[in-house]
């Protein structure tokens, strides 16, 4: 297991190119299963998670043409040879569960293991399954597998989600595009990745309106063709580097980042005393010499503050002037970074879903351990701001979601080195 050595204390200055969005790419890859002609995705992030999804698709019979290091991935699902997604593949990454809906819609049946994923709470899939049942599927859970069948095809349905779920919204949308008749999704998630998925599906023949709003209407079609689609920039990666620049100081241009996807974070950064300017090439983020101000955070579904940036913002708040309250409303058990940040000298107390962060003057380097994807990168941010050397262990979590992190930060002056093997 690799680890990262980071010598903090210096500013970040330069240009950071933002990769395609992991969370969008994974669903677009699942969407390829619905297409009887090749779907070519560009701006694909080269990540452990997206490569892993490619492997699963190959197991299902999809011809994947994605050369190493390339950002263009061609997926040809003309023939699907298997409708079984085994435990070994699905347990490692929750998003692989999203092959269930497309297989069910296109082939009429699928057997997919219940997912694993990040250690950030129970993360059930009950809403996904209820949506398929509403569309007429028979669902049985046996020995950790979901067996779904709709042998005469799925039927359009009116689905009211009891609370907002990104995954369930996307998954229901994926299944409904080939259903017979109209499906209406109410209380749908509004994340930019959902609009991205709908744009892509529409470009290959689907009929979806309202994606990006709480009500999505999908008119079923009999087949989807193929085409080319460019994945949106990763707002979480962009937000992470914006926070890193705020914590370390300096000025970075986040090339390709879209301000409209990050409104809540930008508001919070500005309140904290960080300059964020939208330019033609992306977002320019700089921190003046003054202190970082303490700002409270309440995570919420989009357009609220993203849970996927909570850990990173907490890292910034550890060096703020004052005390901030951070409330995690999406996932239980998503404060595992707090004790690790405390090892760097932060002063954080967690009570249930709320963390109180009392700003300290200076963090100091230490040994820390990455626990999940976003938590790991919060440790990198804190390490950049800390005095001395920090060793971040178990960085494989980072490789799941951040493309060329050391290189991108290194080019902006960060002293960050990957070492093989952990202690
Ligand atoms: C997606 C993102 C993840 C992000 C999250 C919230 C991907 C690959 N992952 O995860 O990075 O943090 O959105 O923005 O896109 N829930 C249920 N039953 C369900 C589904 C969800 O109880 O059937 C709960 C979850 O446990 C969680 C909440 O609903 O507490 C929101 O989860 P959801 O929006 O579905 O997150 P994911 O799609 O898993």
pLDDT value, residue 214: 98
pLDDT in the model for residue 399: 87
Can you tell me the distance from the alpha carbon of 231 to that of 234, in angstroms, rounded to the nearest whole number? 9
**Nearest residue (CA) to ligand 1, atom 15:** 23
Predicted local distance difference test score (pLDDT) of residue 118: 45
Out of 123, 192, 327, give the residue to mutate to test ligand 1, the one with the largest number of ligand atoms within 8 Å of its CB. 123
In the residue annotation, 35 being an active-site residue is answered as no
pLDDT of residue 120: 43
d(CA 22, CA 337): 21
Question: In which residue ranges of the chain is pLDDT below 70?
Answer: 116-123, 421-423
Q: Which of 35, 73, 118, 412 is catalytic?
A: 118
Q: What pLDDT, on the 0 to 100 scale, is given for residue 219? A: 98
**CA–centroid distance, residue 305 to ligand 1 (Å):** 14
Report DSSP letters for 76-88, one per residue.
E-SS----EE-HH
Question: How far from chain centre, in Å, is Cα 137?
Answer: 28
Asked whether 385 and 363 are in contact (CB, 8 A), the reply is: yes
Å from CA of 68 to ligand 1 middle: 30
In whole angstroms, give the CA distance from residue 287 to residue 231. 30
Residue 174 CA to residue 105 CA, distance in Å, equals 8
Q: Are strands 39-42 and 227-230 parallel, antiparallel or unpaired?
A: parallel
Token pair recorded at residue 285: 């983020």
Minimum CA distance residue for ligand 1 atom 35 = 165
* Beta strand spans in 31-174 (E): 39-42, 63-65, 73-76, 84-85, 109-113, 138-142, 145-149, 158-160
Ligand 1 pocket: which of 90, 132, 165, 234 to mutate (most atoms <8 Å of CB)?
165
Strands 274-279 and 138-142, how do they pair?
A: unpaired
Residue nearest to atom 5 of ligand 1 (CA): 166
> Nearest C-alpha to atom 24 of ligand 1 is from which residue?
123
Q: How high is the pLDDT of residue 333?
A: 81
| Residue 22 pLDDT | 97
Residues 113-169 have pLDDT tens digits of 988 644 445 568 999 999 999 999 999 998 889 999 998 999 999 999 999 999 999
CA 242: distance to chain centroid? 16
Q: Using one digit for the tens of pLDDT, what is the confidence trace for 373-422?
A: 888 999 999 999 999 999 999 888 888 889 999 999 999 999 999 998 65
């Amino acid at each position: 297991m690799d680890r990262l050595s980071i010598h903090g204390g210096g500013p970040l200055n330069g240009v950071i190119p933002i990769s395609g969005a992991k969370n969008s790419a994974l669903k677009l890859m699942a969407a390829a299963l619905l297409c009887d002609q090749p779907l070519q995705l560009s701006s694909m992030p080269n990540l452990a998670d997206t490569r892993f999804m490619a492997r699963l698709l190959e197991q299902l019979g999809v011809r994947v043409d994605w050369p190493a290091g390339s950002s263009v991935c061609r997926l040809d699902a003309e023939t699907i040879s298997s409708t079984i997604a085994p435990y070994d593949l699905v347990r490692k990454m929750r998003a692989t569960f999203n092959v269930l809906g497309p297989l069910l819609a296109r082939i009429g049946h699928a057997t997919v293991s219940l997912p694993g994923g990040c250690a950030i709470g129970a993360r059930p899939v009950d809403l996904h399954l209820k949506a398929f049942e509403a569309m007429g599927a028979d669902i049985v859970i046996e020995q950790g597998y979901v067996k779904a069948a709709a042998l005469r095809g799925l039927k359009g349905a009116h689905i009211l989600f009891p609370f907002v779920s990104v995954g369930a919204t996307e998954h229901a949308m994926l299944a409904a595009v080939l259903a017979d008749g109209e499906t209406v999704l109410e209380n749908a998630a509004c994340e930019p990745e959902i609009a991205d998925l709908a744009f892509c599906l529409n470009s290959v023949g689907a009929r979806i309106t309202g994606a990006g709003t709480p009500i999505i209407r999908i008119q079923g079609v009999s087949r989807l063709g193929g085409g080319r689609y460019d994945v949106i920039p990763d707002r979480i990666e962009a937000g992470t580097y914006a926070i890193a620049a705020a914590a370390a100081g300096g000025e970075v241009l986040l090339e390709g980042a879209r301000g409209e996807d990050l409104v809540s974070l930008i508001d919070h950064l500005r309140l904290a005393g960080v300059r964020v300017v939208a330019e033609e090439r992306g977002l320019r983020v700089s921190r003046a010499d003054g202190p970082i101000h303490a700002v409270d955070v309440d995570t919420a579904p989009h357009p609220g503050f993203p849970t996927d940036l909570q850990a990173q913002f907490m890292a910034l708040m550890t060096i703020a002037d004052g005390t901030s309250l951070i409330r995690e409303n999406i996932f239980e058990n998503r404060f595992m970074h707090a004790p690790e940040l405390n090892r760097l000298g932060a002063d954080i107390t967690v009570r249930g879903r709320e963390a109180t962060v009392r700003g300290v003057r200076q963090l100091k380097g230490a040994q820390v351990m990455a626990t999940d994807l976003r938590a790991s990168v919060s440790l990198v941010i804190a390490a950049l701001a800390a005095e001395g050397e920090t060793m971040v262990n178990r960085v494989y979590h980072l490789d799941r979601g951040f493309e060329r992190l050391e290189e991108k930060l290194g080019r902006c002056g960060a002293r960050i080195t990957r070492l093989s093997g952990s202690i």
